[in-house]
Copies of this chain bind each other. A is one copy, B any other.
């Protein structure tokens, strides 16, 4: 009785979180209920610091954080453990691995807090049920969208890091912001530390170079308020290596 109550509470939680998760976007609540039944998903609960999935273990399905927070941790070539990302409820993990053909977890997933996660097996994700409910098609589209955007994001970051000079990276970034905002004056939405991390440079060096560009009349800025003053020079700067 009490166990059944716990199970149905977890089911309610799964529904609530799934309805806000990109994997289940554009799926109406009734469709979602039917779909969740079809998906044959599993839920696991973990205590803080538990290892949810170990890298190299057999892959069972795409993970969704239902409660709490998890970190995805990878071992670099040197065997050093690096935090790849920290995920909160509604966020996915394992999505790049799900259809890659390599049936192992590529990274270790660790509970950052007490948490619950659900797993949706890859074959269920792309399968159809006897009822052929429309949720399945949307799920597939969502999965394709997730992977597409992931690839695009990675590609964008790679474009920045392929620029060897710091000035080139700064210029490319600001030109991108300018293109997005449509204006020569805009607010940066990262602090210096975050921008330095994003461009993979040292914060004091970033500051030095940005100030040089201001002194040369290319930019004008104060903290996160940014204005491009010499677009031609900025474009020249973005072209250098």
* Contacts from A to B (Cβ < 8 Å): 76-80, 96-101, 106, 126, 128, 137, 140-141, 143-145, 147-152, 154-155, 157-159, 161-162, 164, 171-173, 175-176, 179, 200, 235-239
Cross-chain pairs A/B with CB under 8 angstroms, 6 sampled: A78-B237, A101-B145, A101-B148, A126-B137, A126-B144, A144-B147
**Number of identical protomers:** 2
Say whether, besides A155-B96, A164-B200, A175 and B77 are in contact (CB < 8 Å). Answer: yes
User: Bound complex: CA of A97 vs CA of B149, how far in Å?
Assistant: 8
Return the 8 tightest CB-CB contacts between A and B, nearest first: A78-B238, A147-B147, A77-B175, A154-B154, A99-B144, A77-B172, A161-B161, A100-B148
Query: What residues of chain B lie closer than 8 Å to A162, measured between beta carbons?
Result: 161, 200
Say whether, besides A77-B171, A162-B200, A200-B162, A145 and B100 are in contact (CB < 8 Å). Answer: yes
User: Bound complex: CA of A177 vs CA of B106, how far in Å?
Assistant: 17
User: Bound complex: CA of A152 vs CA of B100, how far in Å?
Assistant: 8
Asked if B78 and A239 make an inter-chain contact with CB atoms under 8 angstroms apart, the answer reads yes
Asked if B80 and A239 make an inter-chain contact with CB atoms under 8 angstroms apart, the answer reads yes
Query: What residues of chain B lie closer than 8 Å to A77, measured between beta carbons?
Result: 171-173, 175-176, 179, 235, 238
Query: What residues of chain B lie closer than 8 Å to A97, measured between beta carbons?
Result: 148, 152
Question: Given B76, B149, B179, B236, which contacts A101 in the complex, CB threshold below 8 Å?
Answer: B149
